[in-house]
Amino acid sequence: MGSQFPMPATDTDDRFTYGLVLDVAHVLALHGYPDAAEYYDGHGADLVAIHLALFRLLYAPSPARPATPARRTAPHPVEVTL
């Protein structure tokens, strides 16, 4: 049997909730990691990091949603004269 993750991304998935993120934060705390679900300076950023890590684990990037933003470059040098 092959890997189950990542799964194809969909526009909606009722299972991927803020509650899932909080549950994962609590499980991490049970294993001795800081509890990102508790309030402390920076807990919001930690919850966002857990949210993104779960999303990247669970869902494959789709062609419409690349994994990394494309880098914009000018097609040619731009001259500015005043």
The predicted-structure confidence for 53-75, as pLDDT tens digits, reads as follows 999 999 887 655 555 555 555 55
Mean pLDDT of 40-53: 91
Four-point Cα dihedral 57, 62, 64, 67, nearest 10: 40
- Return the ∠ at Cα 60 (arms to 55 and 62), rounded to 5°: 115
The amino acid present at 27, given as its one-letter code, is V
Mean pLDDT of 31-48: 90
Specify the range with the lowest mean pLDDT, choosing from 19-28, 36-45, 46-55, 73-82: 73-82
Q: Is the pLDDT of residue 11 over 90?
A: no
Tell me if the pTM is above 0.75: no
